[in-house]
Amino acid sequence: MLITADWAVPVSSAPIRDGAVVLRNGLIEAVGPADGLAKKYAGVPRHDHPGCIIMPGLVNAHTHLALTCLKGLLPPQPFAEWIRRVPQAMLALNRDDLASSTALGAANCIQAGVTVVGDIAHGPESAAIAADAGLGGQFYWEVLGIPAKQIDDYLDAIEFPAGRSGFTRRLNCGISPHAPYTSGPELIRAARALAAERRMGFAVHLAESVAETQLLHDGSGPLADLAKRLADGFEPPCKTPVAYMEMLGVLEGAVAVHCTQVLPVDIPVLARRVRGVVLCPRSNAHLNNGVAPAEKLGKGGVPLGLGTDSLASNETLDLFEEARALAEIAPGLGAERLVRMMTDEGAQILGLGDVFGSLARGLQADIAIFRIPHSKDPYEGLLQHAGRRSLEAVLSAGLWRILHGQPTFPVSFADRGSQLASMKAALALDDSHTASAQPTAPLRA
Ligand SMILES: [Zn+2]
């Protein structure tokens, strides 16, 4: 199949005016000027998209697809309150509810041009549903709230895959100890060791809130009781969150999510150790968690990705809306870097740079096509105009998922199921708000 547009933006190489991409057997076969490729591949089915830009399928490097049904239920509030209310809502949901919520999240991703996610999984549904929906990426099974010695039993209980059976180049699994205040130091180390042993991805929410910084500084603040209950063996290290993780020896190759609360001294440590930092500016704003020093991180040599986080703390899973929010607070990054963050740089952070994230021969045939007004600079054009409202088409693994702006798969089924889940979650939140005793269990534990 030959697909042409006004511009092809391969990301790994310079934009091509009147460009085209050739797809074969679920992979990218060739990228170049449309005229030349049309001659070389005469006779293959051709799709022309005048007025459009072709780019790689987007990489949303931090999602919680299972939390999609919480959209609109948790208004802006202090982080320490919000983090308690999410499990209160989720504990009201059964597996069907979680599956519907995840399916709607996956559909929302595709409908925004995203074909790759770095998802925090609470059980088996995320990877399975994502595979059906056409998403690929890393699925980080989350562990928290237990002593380190229980990690194997816990992973069994949340159906963490024992091996790579069922996993492919598109679909990968990893581990995420949630955060320093819900996972004790030995649990974080055990999760890191397991990820290294099995050559899997490792991600952690890090330096997200002032409350986390305060807890790690002197053990005080609104997360202290949560840490006492969930983070077995935690003692305040009197360090920044980044320095704490470095002290534990777990930063090497890690994906650090958020990093709003980092000091200048932390930046070289991150640059030296982590696979990358995933920024989630709209979630940070929703929970008043401050602003990550994105430009300083970028200039300091830290690979950067972009994530929407979940709809428990964001309005949409539209990654270009996230990029525009980041451009406002970090204009120095520029349009090209922002596009890289949501394509090849994001894919590399997830450890999947040789599978996704650019239009290059041999990579997965994951393509997003946006209707963009004529622009001399396609990166600027994308940053200003791309998003779910200008989405023309999406392919993943060479299959059309969106064509002429419309999904090729049913969305209404997931939408109805997710609405039911949303109602149950709303009732649980209402009950917990009025109840004197607060539920204490972590999600699915
Ligand atoms: Zn998150």
**CATH number of the structural domain spanning residue 372:** 2.30.40.10
Residue that terminates a domain, selected from 319, 349, 379: 349
9 within domain boundaries: yes
* Same domain membership, residue 184 and residue 305: yes
252 within domain boundaries: yes
Distance 80 CA to ligand 1 centre (A): 14
Distance 2 CA to ligand 1 centre (A): 38
Q: Which of 230, 358, 211 is nearest to 290 (CA)?
A: 211
435 within domain boundaries: no
What pLDDT does residue 442 have? 44
Distance 288 CA to ligand 1 centre (A): 15
426 within domain boundaries: no
Distance 277 CA to ligand 1 centre (A): 12
Distance 307 CA to ligand 1 centre (A): 9
Residue that terminates a domain, selected from 407, 422, 437: 407
Distance 171 CA to ligand 1 centre (A): 20
Distance 179 CA to ligand 1 centre (A): 10
Q: Kindly report the CATH number assigned to the domain that includes residue 253.
A: 3.20.20.140
* Same domain membership, residue 374 and residue 300: no
* Same domain membership, residue 181 and residue 73: yes
What pLDDT does residue 164 have? 63
Residue that terminates a domain, selected from 349, 384, 417: 349
Distance 118 CA to ligand 1 centre (A): 10
Distance 110 CA to ligand 1 centre (A): 19
Distance 282 CA to ligand 1 centre (A): 12
What is the per-residue pLDDT across 273-308, written as a single tens digit (0 to 9) for each?
A: 999 999 999 999 999 999 999 999 999 999 999 999
Distance 6 CA to ligand 1 centre (A): 36
Residues of the chain short of pLDDT 70, as ranges, are 163-166, 432-445
What pLDDT does residue 441 have? 42
Distance 332 CA to ligand 1 centre (A): 25
* Same domain membership, residue 379 and residue 310: no
For the chain, the three-class secondary structure string (H helix, E strand, C coil) is CEEEEEEECCCCCCCEEEEEEEEECCEEEEEEEHHHHHHHCCCCCEEEEEEEEEEECEEEEEECHHHHHHCCCCCCCCHHHHHHHHHHHHCCCCHHHHHHHHHHHHHHHHCCCEEEEEEEECCCHHHHHHHHHCCEEEEEEEECCCCHHHHHHHHHHCCCCCCCCCCCCCEEEEEEECCCCCCCHHHHHHHHHHHHHCCCEEEEEECCCHHHHHHHHHCCCCCHHHHHHHCCCCCCCCCCHHHHHHHHCCCCCCEEEECCCCCCCHHHHHHHHCCEEEECHHHHHHCCCCCCCHHHHHHCCCCEEECCCCCCCCCCCCHHHHHHHHHHHCHHHHHHHHHHHCCHHHHHHCCCCCCCCCCCCCCECCEEEEECCCCCCHHHHHHHHCCHHHEEEEEECCEEEEECCEECCCCHHHHHHHHHHHHHHHHHHHHHHHCCCCCCCCCCC
N-term to C-term CA, the chain: 47
430 within domain boundaries: no
How many residues would you count in the chain?
445
440 within domain boundaries: no
What pLDDT does residue 432 have? 67
Angle between helices 266-273 and 241-248 (to 10 degrees): 40
* Same domain membership, residue 253 and residue 268: yes
* Same domain membership, residue 133 and residue 172: yes
Distance 309 CA to ligand 1 centre (A): 5
* Same domain membership, residue 30 and residue 173: no
Looking at the 3D structure of the chain, how many domains does it have? Answer: 2
What pLDDT does residue 433 have? 61
- The pTM for the full model equals 0.96
Distance 310 CA to ligand 1 centre (A): 7
What pLDDT does residue 5 have? 98
Distance 50 CA to ligand 1 centre (A): 38
Distance 67 CA to ligand 1 centre (A): 10
What pLDDT does residue 436 have? 43
Domain range enclosing 128:
60-349
* Same domain membership, residue 275 and residue 218: yes
Distance CA 183, CA 370 (A): 41
What pLDDT does residue 444 have? 44
* Same domain membership, residue 370 and residue 231: no
User: What's the gap between Cα 417 and its chain centre?
Assistant: 23
Angle between helices 210-218 and 79-90 (to 10 degrees): 100
* Same domain membership, residue 400 and residue 298: no
- The residue written with tokens 């030995």 in the block is 186
Report yes or no: 268 and 300 within 8 Å, Cβ to Cβ. yes
Give the other-Cβ count within 10 Å of 373's Cβ: 9
* Same domain membership, residue 80 and residue 100: yes
274 within domain boundaries: yes
What is the per-residue pLDDT across 136-161, written as a single tens digit (0 to 9) for each?
A: 999 999 999 999 999 999 999 988 88
Distance 205 CA to ligand 1 centre (A): 6
92 within domain boundaries: yes
CA distances to 283, 366, 374, 394 from 313, in Å: 5, 28, 34, 26
* Same domain membership, residue 273 and residue 260: yes
Distance 374 CA to ligand 1 centre (A): 36
Distance 236 CA to ligand 1 centre (A): 23
Distance 62 CA to ligand 1 centre (A): 6
